[in-house]
A and B are shown apart, each in its own frame.
Chain A
Amino acid sequence: MTARARPFVPSVLAIFIGCSAFTSAQADEVQVAVAANFTAPIQAIASDFEKDTGHKLIAAYGATGQFYTQIKNGAPFEVFLAADDSTPEKLEKEGDIVPGSRFTYAVGTLALWSAKDGYIDGTDKTLIGNQYKHLSIANPKAAPYGLAATQVLAKLDLIDKVKNKIVEGQNITQAYQFVSTGNAELGFVALSQIYKDGKVSSGSAWIVPEAMHDPIRQDAVILKKGENNPAAKALAEYLKGPKATAIIKSYGYHL
C-alpha cells in the first residue's frame, strides 16, 4: 500500500462503524428459524412486520428436526416457527425457551399435488388409481407433513400398494421440488406451498380433509437467545395480530 492511500482506510472504517451504529439505533434484528412449509407466508409477513415495527427479520428455512439439533447446539436463533407442536414442547421441557412463550401460530393443511393441470381432479381418485411411478412425500421421521402423508396413505389402505413408488424429500420443500420438476408425478405437500389467495395457483391438487390425519399444529416459541431482544417479542405478538393471521390464512392454514 502506498503512503498516499493510507488515510483512506480509517475513513472507510469510520463509515462502517457509523453505519452499524446507525442501524442498531434504528431497530433490532431478530433471527428466526422457520419451518420450510412456512417460507412463503413468513416472507409476506416479514415485509409488513418490518414496515410496521421497524425491526428487521432474518429468516433461515429448514426442517424442524434439523433446527432442533442446531438450537440445542448453540444456534443463534431467537424465535422458532416449527412445523409441529412436539418439537417446541420438547424445547420448552428442556428449558430452552422463554417460559410461557409457546403458542400455535398456524394449523397446516396437507395437499396432494401434481405440477400437471388436470392430473388430480380434486379428489383422492388419482392417488387410489395408482397409475403413477413416483409419489413424493417429506421424510415422515423428521417432517410433520410427511407423517401426516403416511397417515393418509394408511387410512386409504395404500401403504403396501404404493410402497415401491414413494420417494422422500428431506423436508417439505424437497418433496415439493420433486413434483415441481416433474420427477415425481404427484406428491404430498403443504397447501401453503401451492396456494395463494384462496386457490391452488398451479397444477392440480386434492386438498386432504383434516379428519384423515392428526392435526398439523405448528407452534412458535421465543428461544432463550431472544429473551432480551425486543424484536423477538414483537414478532411473537405480531404473528398473533390480525394482519399476520390474515396472511397466514390466505396460504391455506387454519387457525
Chain B
Amino acid sequence: MPLTSADFSAIWLTLQLASLTTVILLIVGTPIALWLAHTRSRLRGPIGAIVALPLVLPPTVIGFYLLLTMGPHGYVGQFTQFLGLGTLTFSFAGLVIGSVIYSMPFVVQPLQNAFTAIGPRLLEVAATLRANPWDTFFSVILPLARPGFITAAILGFAHTVGEFGVVLMIGGNIPEKTRVVSVQIYDHVEALEYAQAHWLAGAMVVFSFLVLLALYSSRKSQTSWS
C-alpha cells in the first residue's frame, strides 16, 4: 500500500475539517450574504470588503494574526483562557476557526450572487401574500438559490481542503489533530520522501479536478458563480 496510516489519518482529518468548516460557513454565511444582497446600508461596502479580504491576503497574514490573537497574550487567547478552554492554537478547534475565516468569501460570494439574482420583487410578492420572513426564506429563497448553495458548499469545502499556510502557522503539525493532507505532503517533501509525496499530491490533483469538473458540468449555460 503506497499510503501509510499517517497519510490516511491526515486525509480523514482534512475531510473532517473541510466538512465542519463548510457546515459552519453555510450557517454563518447565509445571513451575511442575504444582508449583503439586500441591504442599502452604508456598511455594505466595508462589510463586503472584509468578507472578501481572505481572497487577497496571503495565508501567512491570517496565520500570523491568528497565532498572536489566539495565543496566551492575545485577546482571543485571553478570552478562551478566561472561559477555561485554554488556547486554541495547536488544536482542531483553532484550525476550524482559521478555516472559517480563510474560506469565508468562497461561500458568501456565491450565495450573495444567488440572492441578488432572485431580486426584491419575488420577496415583496411573498410578503404581500403574508409569508413571514422564515416562510419566504424556506419557500422562496432556498429553492431558488439552490445552485448558489451547491456552488458555495463545493467551493468552501474544496478551498478548505487546499488550505496550507494558515494551518502550518497555527497547527503545530500534530498527528490526528492538526496534520492535514497539505501539511503531510509538505512534510514528505521536506523529508525527501518524494514517492509518498507523489501519492498524496497526485490524489489531491485528481480530487480537486473532480470537484471542479462536477461544479462546472453542473451549470451548463451559466457563466457566473450564482
Are A and B co-members of a single complex? Answer: yes
Using CB atoms and an 8 Å cutoff, list the residues of chain A in contact with chain B.
63, 65-66, 68-69, 133-134, 136, 139, 141-142, 166-170, 174, 177-178, 181-184
B191 in the interface (beta carbon within 8 A):
yes
Q: Decide: A69 and B72 in contact? CB cutoff 8 A.
A: no
Rounded to whole Å, the gap between the CB of A105 and the closest CB of chain B is: 22
Residues 73-89 of chain B, each 1 if its beta carbon lies under 8 Å from chain A, else 0: 10000000000001101
In this assembly, does B137 line the interface, its C-beta being within 8 Å of a C-beta of chain A? no
Contact between B73 and A65, CB atoms less than 8 A apart: no
Question: Do A133 and B86 contact each other (CB < 8 Å), given the known contacts A69-B189, A142-B191, A170-B168?
Answer: yes
Whether the Cβ atoms of B67 and A183 lie closer than 8 Å is yes
Query: A168 touches which one: B73, B172, B191 (CB < 8 A)?
Result: B172
Which B residues lie within 8 Å of A174 (CB)?
Answer: 169
Give the total number of A-B pairs whose CB atoms are below 8 A apart.
59
CB proximity to A under 8 Å, residues B46-72: 67-68, 70-72
Chain B nearest CB, measured from A162 CB (Å)? 12
Q: Which residue of B lies closest to A65 (CB)?
A: B190
Q: A65-B192, A167-B173 are in contact. Are A182 and B73 (CB under 8 A)?
A: yes
| Nearest neighbor of B90 in chain A, beta-carbon distance | A167
Q: Is the CB of A168 within 8 A of B190?
A: no
Closest 7 CB pairs of A and B: A167-B172, A142-B190, A168-B173, A141-B191, A65-B190, A183-B89, A182-B72
Asked whether B187 lies within 8 Å of A183 as measured between CB atoms, the reply is: no
Task: Give bound CA distance, A170 to B71, whole Å.
Answer: 19
Q: Are A170 and B186 in contact (CB under 8 A)?
A: yes
Q: Is B125 an interface residue (CB 8 A)?
A: no
Minimum CB–CB distance for A32 against chain B, Å: 20
* Smallest beta-carbon distance A232→chain B, Å: 25
CB distance from A252 to the nearest CB of B (A): 25
Interface string of B183-197 (1 = CB under 8 A from A): 000110111100000
**Which residues in B have their C-beta under 8 angstroms from that of A63?**
190
Most chain B beta carbons < 10 A, residue from A136, A141, A174, A183: A183
User: Is B174 among interface residues, defined by CB-CB distance under 8 A?
Assistant: yes
- A141 contacts B68, CB within 8 Å? no
Q: Nearest chain A CB to B120's CB is how many angstroms away?
A: 47
Q: Which residue of B lies closest to A142 (CB)?
A: B190
B191 proximity list for chain A (CB < 8 A):
65, 139, 141-142
- Binary per-residue interface labels of chain B (116-143) against chain A in the complex, 1 for a CB within 8 Å, 0 otherwise: 0000000000000000000000000000
Tell me the complex Cα distance, A178–B157, Å: 28
- Contact of B72 (CB < 8 Å), options: A136, A168, A183: A183
Q: Given the complex, which residues of A lie within 8 Å of B173, measured CB to CB? A: 139, 167-170
Q: Which residue of A lies closest to B193 (CB)?
A: A141
The smallest C-beta distance from B1 to any residue of chain A, in angstroms, reads 20
CB-CB under 8 A from A168, the residues of chain B are 172-174
* Most central of B186, B189, B190 by chain A CB within 10 Å: B190
Contacts of A183 in B (CB 8 A): 67, 70-72, 87, 89-90
